[in-house]
């Protein structure tokens, strides 16, 4: 006797096969999704690492430029050339402006070299100065500055160590060229 499957059992087998296919496709879909998510996460981590490395390199370059600028300026001011420059500035009654910052609030900071060395001036800046009636408020407050302050501000303003020294030397050359003939 041969056994013929009943139509119900054939239908059940087809349904089971369809469910199995559906489940398998769903499993593959989940796997593909997880794989894409893992790839995306990996790429994000790699990008973060690259950004971190780039930021570390920028910090290292900034630190190098800061040290170079500060030490170059310090060495210049202490050298014979720096002493001669200060004598020129004292005799001419001029100064060499290195950099300035006006953060707002009516006052700004100017860093310069004059006959007395490296100095900073905290002085009124902006439109309110034109309308101020109090002359005491207009007087700058001048004090000694250190090379680190100048280096920090100059680098924030985008000047390289070479540009800072070139600017100083160019200004000194201009002042020397304007000296009266004896």
> Of 146 and 103, which is predicted with more confidence?
146
Q: What is the per-residue pLDDT for 77?
A: 95
For the cut 90, the answer to whether the pLDDT of residue 128 exceeds it is: no
Which whole number is the average pLDDT over 65-82? 94
Q: Judge whether residue 133 has pLDDT over 90.
A: no
DSSP for 57-97 reads: HHHHHHHHHHHHHHHHHHHHHHSHHHHHHHHHHHHHT--EE
Distance CA(149)–CA(52), nearest Å, equals 27
Arithmetic mean of pLDDT, 27-42: 88
């Amino acid at each position: 006797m041969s056994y013929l499957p009943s139509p119900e059992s054939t239908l059940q087998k087809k349904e089971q096969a369809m469910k199995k296919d559906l489940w398998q496709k769903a499993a593959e879909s989940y796997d593909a999704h997880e794989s894409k998510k893992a790839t995306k996460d990996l790429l994000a981590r790699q990008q973060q690492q690259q950004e971190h490395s780039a930021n570390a390199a920028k910090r290292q370059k900034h630190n190098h430029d800061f040290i170079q600028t500060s030490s170059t300026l310090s060495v210049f001011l202490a050298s014979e050339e720096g002493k001669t420059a200060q004598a020129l500035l004292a005799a001419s009654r001029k100064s060499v402006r290195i950099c300035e910052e006006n953060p707002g609030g009516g006052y700004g900071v100017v860093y310069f070299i004059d006959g007395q060395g490296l100095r900073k001036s905290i002085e009124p800046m902006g439109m309110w100065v034109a309308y101020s009636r109090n002359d005491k408020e207009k007087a700058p407050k001048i004090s000694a500055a250190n090379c680190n302050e100048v280096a920090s501000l100059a680098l924030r303003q985008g000047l390289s160590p070479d540009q800072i020294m070139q600017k100083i030397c160019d200004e000194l050359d201009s002042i020397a060229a304007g000296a009266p003939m004896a």
